[in-house]
Amino acid sequence: MANTKKSLNYGRQSIDNDDIQVVIETLKSDFITQGPKIPQFENSIKSYCGVKFGFAVNSATSALHISCLALGLGPGDILWTSANTFVSSSNCAILVGASVDFIDIDPDTLNMSTSCLEKKLIKAKTNNCLPKIVVPVHFAGQSCDMKKIYELSQIYGFKIIEDGSHAIGGIYKNSPVGSCIYSDICVFSFHPVKIITTGEGGIALTNSKQIAENLKKFRSHGIHSEKQKMRKRDPEEIWNYQQVSIGLNYRMTDIAAALGLNQMKKLNKFVSKRREIAKFYDSALSNLPLKKQYEIKDSKSTYHLYVVRLNLNYKNITQKKVYEELTKLGILVNIHYIPVYRQPFYEDLGFSLGYCPESEKYFKEALSIPIYPDMTLSDLEYVKECFEQVLNLK
Ligand SMILES: *Cc1c(COP(=O)(O)O)cnc(C)c1O
């Protein structure tokens, strides 16, 4: 092979000197947490997405947890999400004592199938077990069919939390993902493999004042400090906050927010770069026995992941063999995702093999190949050459 061996992960952060500089400045400032960088970071995301309220937290998992709390999910309630997602999208329900169910995917978009969702809703209505919350996941950065899901929510009376962990910078029907036009809340993740990073971090966005108050409260111990809302007791008592419910400490630090704020400046550049890489792969891999994720017309994916589905009828390739051979060549592919209900924890709750057939079939064919803004043309050529070698085309 022309190129020497490389080591390319399926995803990674992009950190420049200016990112490092802003973190150092914050470390030298008066506040390294609960300072000015948090609202600045929140404002930059709010204005980018065109949404009214936003609360930065220490992970998207935390954002999902407080979102469930903010919408009043609890024991006796049900949350539905896609089978093809990271465990956080459903764990958030378990954490508040609710139960979970899963919707199968559309085999082309790899997102929650709205026809499966609709069928399941019709059944649930008859059986009196409708979900209180549905969590669509914008898989790999492509928005779900939010308009359809929103229409169903109006008929069946559920709330919507978009898990946009992959999708900051994406577009759906001419609006940024995160605008919450078709949802109650949208969350993003800032883990290093995602589109922008704060190390660990996340945010919950909403247009509802009521939900916003709840998110803010649950992020920080169930405490608020609004004078006019304080319970009045001894008029001589001097005190400046009150705890009114049980909450957590899910706050982001100013160190992380400073990094996030600087990364926001590069968001559009990151997404364009990812889309260029996707375009390269689309054509470079087009003659290989692979299928790619179908991109719907009225959305723009961020390509957090570039997922291929292997044609397992081709020669005698297996997913395991391709995975191992590519890894040996330094292409650190991954699989997104094992259907969540195939995790032992969910198996123990009673879910079993065959529950979401499309998600299971996809899982057996899927590979996420390297895609991140700092990839060079030589990296991309290397991936192409290795793929051709492993699939015995060269
Ligand atoms: C990464 C991810 C999360 C969790 O994000 P963290 O910030 O790591 O907590 C949740 N949902 C999806 C779909 C993700 O990819």
Q: List pLDDT tens digits, range 140-194.
A: 999 999 999 999 999 999 999 999 999 999 999 999 999 999 999 999 999 999 9
Ligand 1 pocket test, pick from 10, 68, 88, 139 with the greatest ligand atom count within 8 Å of Cβ, gives: 88
DSSP assignment of 319-372 = HHHHHHHHHHTTEE-B-----GGGSHHHHTTT--TTSSHHHHHHHHHEEEEP--
CA 316, CA 166: separation in Å to the nearest integer?
33
Q: Within 13 Å, how many C-alpha atoms sit on residue 19's CB side?
A: 16
CA 146, CA 384: separation in Å to the nearest integer?
34
How many angstroms separate the alpha carbon of residue 392 from the centre of ligand 1?
35
CA 78, CA 68: separation in Å to the nearest integer?
11
Is it the case that residue 294 has pLDDT exceeding 80?
yes
**How do residues 325-354 score in pLDDT, each as one tens digit?**
999 999 999 999 999 999 999 999 999 999
Phi, psi of 344 (to 5 degrees): -50, -40
DSSP assignment of 68-107 = HHHTT--TT-EEEEESSS-THHHHHHHHTT-EEEEEPBPT
Look at residue 3 in the predicted model and tell me its pLDDT. 57
CA distances from 141 to 27, 75, 181, 272, 345 (A): 32, 31, 17, 13, 27
How many angstroms separate the alpha carbon of residue 88 from the centre of ligand 1?
6
Is it the case that residue 228 has pLDDT exceeding 60?
yes
Secondary structure class of 390 (helix, strand, coil): helix
| Residue carrying structure tokens 């008859």 | 126
Look at residue 214 in the predicted model and tell me its pLDDT. 97
The token pair at 174 is: 């001419």
How many angstroms separate the alpha carbon of residue 324 from the centre of ligand 1?
25
What pLDDT band is residue 233 in, cutting at 50, 70 and 90?
confident
What number does the ligand 1 atom closest to the CA of 88 have? 10
Asked whether the beta carbons of 166 and 112 are under 8 A apart, the reply is: no
Is it the case that residue 98 has pLDDT exceeding 80?
yes
Query: What pTM was estimated for this model as a whole?
Result: 0.97
Q: What is the mean pLDDT of residues 271-292?
A: 96
